[in-house]
Structure 1
């Protein structure tokens, strides 16, 4: 248990720099722009699978 605590103390997170923040923002912009389209596709696929499963019962 003591080793685990020592390793944890050694690996304390360093404060983020401006460049890290800028890189994170630039990587998240495309994700946020594409999220609504992904949600529409996921909902559509689920809806069509539900309809397809209803027809399988008959």
Structure 2
């Protein structure tokens, strides 16, 4: 049982080391998130005005 557990741990450690996050993947993730971070404040303002406009329209 102990030998099986040790071999299982070795395999798990190897697989974790093999799947490293590369610099290229980091740059691609950042490039994908930049437009989202720039557009988010405008979306929030749009949703806020839209919600307030619907609230006013429902009250009148």
What TM-score results when the alignment is normalised by the length of structure 2?
Answer: 0.67
Unaligned ranges ≥5, structure 2: 1-11
Give 4+ residue runs of structure 1 displaced > 3 Å after superposition: none
In structure 2, C-alpha distance between the alignment counterparts of 1:26 and 1:41, rounded to whole Å: 24
Q: Tell me how large the CA RMSD over aligned residues is.
A: 1.5
Q: 2:22 aligns with which of 17, 29, 47?
A: 17
Correspondence 1:30 to 2:35:
yes
In structure 2, C-alpha distance between the alignment counterparts of 1:48 and 1:28, rounded to whole Å: 30
Report the number of matched residues.
45
Comparing both structures, which one devotes a greater share of its residues to helix?
2
Is the radius of gyration larger for structure 1 or structure 2?
Answer: 2
Q: 1:44 aligns with which of 45, 49, 56?
A: 49
In structure 1, C-alpha distance between the alignment counterparts of 2:43 and 2:56, rounded to whole Å: 20
